[in-house]
Structure 1
Amino acid sequence: MEFIFLCSRVNVLILLLTVCSPYKFIQSPMEFGPLNLLQTTHEASLDFGRIVFNTPSAVLKPQSKTDIALLLSSLSASSLSRVTVSARGAGHSIHGQAQALDGIVVEMESLPVEMEIHKREGKDGISFVDVSGGALWIEVLKESLKFGLAPRSWTDYLYLTVGGTLSNAGISGQTFKFGPQISNVLQLEIVTGQGELVTCSRTENSELFYSVLGGLGQFGIITKARILLQDAPEKVKWIRAFYDDFDTFTKDQELLVSMPDLVDYVEGFIVLNEQSLHSSSVGFPGNIGFTPDFGTREKPKVYYCIEFAVHDYQLEHMNIDEVVRDISRQMSYMQSQLYSVDVSYFDFLERVRMEELSLRRQGLWDVHHPWLNMFVPKSGIVEFKDLLMESISPDDFMGLILIYPLLRDKWDGNMSAVLPEVGSTDQVMYVVGVLQSANPDTCNHRCLHDLLQHQRSFAQTAHDQIGAKQYLGHQPSPLHWRSHFGRRWGQFARRKSQFDPNYILGPGQGIFTNPHSASSAL
């Protein structure tokens, strides 16, 4: 186990724990390894958002799950301090959710990657992978493909840790078919806030299992996960269709998600300007001849694109081109604006990596990312779109706006992830991702502050008027978090007191400030 200290307060605490802990977990300060006062703690105060910079007092680079358990056990058993701990994966949070101001950050990517593929045998067998929580999804993909297998549900970007996405939900264009990544987990190994190493599933320690999945890192640290696998296709038929009418666009998206036996992936995005059209096409290897008229600054015109895919298993009885033709005949896209291309399954799942590399070459990757992701009820998607378009300037918006449907019955309501509360029986809801970039060269501190304030106001309006819920969100106060969880707040708070009674974990989320404010809501 390697500890990297920044200030003496945590150093003294750990030394005192070494001497005073009745469990004698830490035998010698030398076990903490070499010190590095600047580089690693600086990295732990950064994330993809480049908005919040909370510096921890120490960084733990664990070499095993036992290191994590020893740390949390020692802190939980001590009354000397209320030091907080955050698990940090690949650092792709937006608002410092994996940071720990004056606390301890656990670098999960320091854990050795452990991965074991179990391929199904027999008619009723299932395939799965046991993988460490700090492994990247791209590593899971590469290893499982060696066996002709792959996870069923993905995120768009694969350079994220398993534990990180499972702590949120993990969504992409396959979610309508197989549910989010958290719906495809068979078993977890968790270190709770008390330092207990627990194996859990739907039938064993189920309360912890359901709590951690989508639990925003509040109840435990995921050290291993058992993920469902399916047969991987040889190729993918990747299709894009363009629209100039929002209602037709959403109607066709809902048509596609109603055909899970034929369609394997459905997403979509708003085409605001030339930049959004070209940047979204970096990973699409086909030649798109769409040359729209975007109108004027005073009277802009926007378009919409549906992106869907059909897996090609190279089966003799299945002609993939005929399948796509049958599907597209039922759609109402703009005349002649349908484009398709054949790609390998790996290249399809790696598509966002191509966009990343392009942005890196332009120096536009390590910039501010004031992203906003929201789940929107179907009944409010038109109003949400109108509110959104009133709040941005299509002419100079930098980034991408994703919009695509999900199905509520693919989510397990026992898990901690929060969806819009709707009274109707309609199973469709939408995810909208406003993936905006703000280059520091053109957007100074005041500009970024104003943008974030505007975004916060928009999110609150969408919540109050439409019932939309933030995903990967950041709330300005514990009171706002209670509103976010709604009727599920009591359950979430009780789980916190059960699995992290000292409120050590996940301080960067800002959900709980101290035991008194949390317990008062029970």
Structure 2
Amino acid sequence: MLACLVERLVADNDTDSIPDPEKSVDIHGVLKDLNIEGSIDYGVTAISLGSTDFGGLYSEKPLAVIRPAGADDVVRVIRRALESPTLTVAARGNGHSINGQAMAHHGLVIDMKSMADNNRIDVNVNFMYVDVGGGALWSDVLKHCVLKYGLAPKSWTDYLDLTVGGTLSNAGVSGQTFRFGPQTSTVTELEVVTGTGEKIVSSNSQNSQLFFSVLGGLGQFGIITRARVLLQPAPDMMIEKLLGKLRYLKHFRYEIDLTYMNFLSRVDHVEEAARGSGIWSTPHPWLNMFVSKKDIDAFNRIVFQNILRNGINGPILTYPLLRSKWDNRWSVALPKNEIFYLVALLRFSHAHPTESEINQMVAQNEEIVQTCIKNGFDFKMYLPHYNSTVEWKRHFGDQWGRFVNRKRQFDPKYVLAPGQKIFTRNHQF
């Protein structure tokens, strides 16, 4: 089903001049004496895991999957990859990417969830923060912090079975972001393994350039192995107090009494039903965008009412965000206006979709993106996916030069996150 999509990806990237890693790397020879506390898996099951993601649109086969015991293992893997002229390394969280971003074609995939450090979720009650491994799931952070301490981070994602490092490498948004900012705004310290194989602790005041580069950096500058996240008392259910601050049409009011944990875990029921029907494991051509307030009316008229007039067979999420809640030192690209909207097209197919049906959804997503470009909309892709340097330059705009300089500083041999298709190991500017 997916062969044509993968072939198109390779063609768009013009890979004729790129050495074939499968021919140039004897992976068993390269890794046989690698002294890590974790494990190296060349097996069919592991390779299958490392070559798939939630999107189900791409399949990039790695040479091996590394299951590190801790950050020092990640250091050793990257340093070993640096000894090769072609080997790349991708960090895989819970595999919830859509377009193969956590894959490494004939490279090494690091299974971040396997890190023993993730089992240590250390809450500091006095200073109101939690230290947590980069491969830990936010759902586990929620349970640990709320049930044991009555505390919780301020900002979440709508779906919690995502890894800490994965969401911080993008931003981490939900309906709460308008008030609290993205998840990146709640982080005060990171432990990062850079593309030079160095383990570095960074913050606003210590190694700050790395700190701000990694947040929203799409995994291009380092692998997050630990994050320090601010906490607050977990909210109670003061519905009237909260709604009293809002202006809204009263007849549209709809409420359900839930605990804070049940509210944040609300997508679990959707996932359970989707798994039961078989559609959770089918391809998901999702599209996530930030659209400026100045263009949202036109976007509604052209996209929602025309291109998507027949729906998408799944939820459509739209909610406003404030640019002032985002730090412009982060690597994430945003629309220029103060108010912009998340537009998330969460497409689902039936249990046995045809190749044609999936390709139609992918084509419609591309039509939406090209429509935004043609009409000059102020927009950015969230969880971006492009196939050429020209497109990535347009995405980052006047931040492209800064992004390239950060890559040169923290991953000068372009080892990390090859699945993003921003740089290749023989990349030339």
TM-score by length of 1: 0.74
Q: How far apart are the structure 2 equivalents of 1:72 and 1:34?
A: 14
1:263 is matched with none
- How far has the Cα of 1:337 moved from its partner? 3.6
Question: Would you say how many aligned residue pairs link Structure 1 and Structure 2?
Answer: 405
Q: How far apart are the structure 1 equivalents of 2:272 and 2:351?
A: 19
Counterparts of 1:497-512 in structure 2, within 5 Å, are 497-512=408-423
Q: How far apart are the structure 1 equivalents of 2:190 and 2:39?
A: 29
Q: How far apart are the structure 2 equivalents of 1:516 and 1:41?
A: 26
What do residues 273-325 of structure 1 show as CA deviations (whole Å, max 9, x unaligned)?
A: xxxxxxxxxxxxxxxxxxxxxxxxxxxxxxxxxxxxxxx3xxxxxxx43653x
Go from structure 1 to structure 2 and tell me whether the alpha carbon gap of 1:34 and 1:482 turns closer, same or farther (over 3 Å shift).
Answer: closer
Matched, 1:374 2:280: no
Q: Return the match for 2:380 from 440, 460, 469.
A: 469
- How far has the Cα of 1:137 moved from its partner? 0.3
1:331 is matched with 248
Counterparts of 1:49-64 in structure 2, within 5 Å, are 49-64=55-70
Asked whether the equivalents of residues 368 and 440 of structure 1 are also in contact (C-alpha less than 8 Å), the reply is: no
2:258 is matched with 343
Q: How far apart are the structure 1 equivalents of 2:161 and 2:151?
A: 19
- How far has the Cα of 1:515 moved from its partner? 4.3
Q: Return the match for 2:424 from 503, 513, 518.
A: 513
Q: Which runs of 5+ in 2 are unaligned?
A: 1-20
Aligned residue for 1:183, secondary structure, equals helix
2:8 is matched with none
Asked whether the equivalents of residues 307 and 368 of structure 2 are also in contact (C-alpha less than 8 Å), the reply is: no
Asked whether the equivalents of residues 213 and 331 of structure 2 are also in contact (C-alpha less than 8 Å), the reply is: yes
- How far has the Cα of 1:176 moved from its partner? 1.1
Asked whether the equivalents of residues 291 and 377 of structure 2 are also in contact (C-alpha less than 8 Å), the reply is: yes
Q: How far apart are the structure 2 equivalents of 1:435 and 1:177?
A: 23
1:266 is matched with none
Matched, 1:230 2:149: no
Asked whether the equivalents of residues 101 and 417 of structure 2 are also in contact (C-alpha less than 8 Å), the reply is: yes
Q: Which amino acid aligns with 1:484?
A: H
Q: Return the match for 2:151 from 146, 149, 152.
A: 149
Asked whether the equivalents of residues 478 and 513 of structure 1 are also in contact (C-alpha less than 8 Å), the reply is: no
Go from structure 1 to structure 2 and tell me whether the alpha carbon gap of 1:35 and 1:54 turns closer, same or farther (over 3 Å shift).
Answer: closer
Asked whether the equivalents of residues 63 and 106 of structure 2 are also in contact (C-alpha less than 8 Å), the reply is: yes
2:50 is matched with 44
Q: Which amino acid aligns with 1:407?
A: L
Q: Return the match for 1:176 from 175, 178, 191.
A: 178
Matched, 1:454 2:364: yes
2:105 is matched with 101
Go from structure 1 to structure 2 and tell me whether the alpha carbon gap of 1:32 and 1:403 turns closer, same or farther (over 3 Å shift).
Answer: closer
Asked whether the equivalents of residues 69 and 114 of structure 2 are also in contact (C-alpha less than 8 Å), the reply is: yes
1:244 is matched with none
Counterparts of 1:93-132 in structure 2, within 5 Å, are 93-112=97-116, 113=118, 114-120=120-126, 126-132=127-133
Q: Which runs of 5+ in 1 are unaligned?
A: 1-6, 20-25, 121-125, 237-311, 313-319
Aligned residue for 1:343, secondary structure, equals coil
Q: Return the match for 1:361 from 269, 276, 290.
A: 276
Go from structure 1 to structure 2 and tell me whether the alpha carbon gap of 1:429 and 1:35 turns closer, same or farther (over 3 Å shift).
Answer: closer
Asked whether the equivalents of residues 50 and 109 of structure 2 are also in contact (C-alpha less than 8 Å), the reply is: yes
Q: Return the match for 1:397 from 305, 308, 312.
A: 312
Q: How far apart are the structure 1 equivalents of 2:386 and 2:361?
A: 16
Asked whether the equivalents of residues 10 and 58 of structure 1 are also in contact (C-alpha less than 8 Å), the reply is: no
Matched, 1:198 2:206: no
Aligned residue for 1:341, secondary structure, equals coil
- How far has the Cα of 1:68 moved from its partner? 0.6
- Identical amino acids, percent of aligned pairs: 43
Go from structure 1 to structure 2 and tell me whether the alpha carbon gap of 1:220 and 1:322 turns closer, same or farther (over 3 Å shift).
Answer: closer
2:4 is matched with none
2:134 is matched with 133
More helix, by proportion: 2
Q: Which has the larger radius of gyration?
A: 1
Go from structure 1 to structure 2 and tell me whether the alpha carbon gap of 1:354 and 1:32 turns closer, same or farther (over 3 Å shift).
Answer: closer
What do residues 67-90 of structure 1 show as CA deviations (whole Å, max 9, x unaligned)?
A: 1101111222x2x43111100000
1:485 is matched with 396
Q: How far apart are the structure 2 equivalents of 1:346 and 1:140?
A: 11
Asked whether the equivalents of residues 183 and 411 of structure 1 are also in contact (C-alpha less than 8 Å), the reply is: yes
Go from structure 1 to structure 2 and tell me whether the alpha carbon gap of 1:226 and 1:9 turns closer, same or farther (over 3 Å shift).
Answer: farther
- How far has the Cα of 1:148 moved from its partner? 1.1
Q: How far apart are the structure 1 equivalents of 2:281 and 2:129?
A: 35
RMSD over aligned CA atoms reads 2.1
Asked whether the equivalents of residues 210 and 415 of structure 1 are also in contact (C-alpha less than 8 Å), the reply is: yes
2:73 is matched with 67
What do residues 8-29 of structure 1 show as CA deviations (whole Å, max 9, x unaligned)?
A: 868735635778xxxxxx359x
Aligned residue for 2:346, secondary structure, equals strand
Aligned residue for 1:168, secondary structure, equals coil
- How far has the Cα of 1:480 moved from its partner? 0.4
- How far has the Cα of 1:461 moved from its partner? 2.2
1:273 is matched with none
Go from structure 1 to structure 2 and tell me whether the alpha carbon gap of 1:357 and 1:198 turns closer, same or farther (over 3 Å shift).
Answer: same
More strand, by proportion: 1
Which segment drifts farther, 200-209 or 462-471? 462-471
Q: How far apart are the structure 1 equivalents of 2:76 and 2:28?
A: 11
Q: How far apart are the structure 1 equivalents of 2:200 and 2:208?
A: 11
Aligned residue for 2:257, secondary structure, equals strand
Q: How far apart are the structure 1 equivalents of 2:367 and 2:22?
A: 40
Go from structure 1 to structure 2 and tell me whether the alpha carbon gap of 1:373 and 1:8 turns closer, same or farther (over 3 Å shift).
Answer: closer
Q: Which amino acid aligns with 1:456?
A: E
1:161 is matched with 163
Go from structure 1 to structure 2 and tell me whether the alpha carbon gap of 1:43 and 1:153 turns closer, same or farther (over 3 Å shift).
Answer: same
Aligned residue for 2:165, secondary structure, equals helix
What do residues 491-515 of structure 1 show as CA deviations (whole Å, max 9, x unaligned)?
A: 0000001000000001000011344
Aligned residue for 1:457, secondary structure, equals helix
Q: How far apart are the structure 1 equivalents of 2:305 and 2:422?
A: 30
- How far has the Cα of 1:208 moved from its partner? 0.4
2:95 is matched with 91
Q: Which amino acid aligns with 2:26?
A: V
Q: How far apart are the structure 2 equivalents of 1:223 and 1:350?
A: 24
Matched, 1:429 2:344: no
TM-score by length of 2: 0.89
Q: How far apart are the structure 2 equivalents of 1:516 and 1:361?
A: 44
Aligned residue for 1:191, secondary structure, equals strand
Matched, 1:321 2:321: no
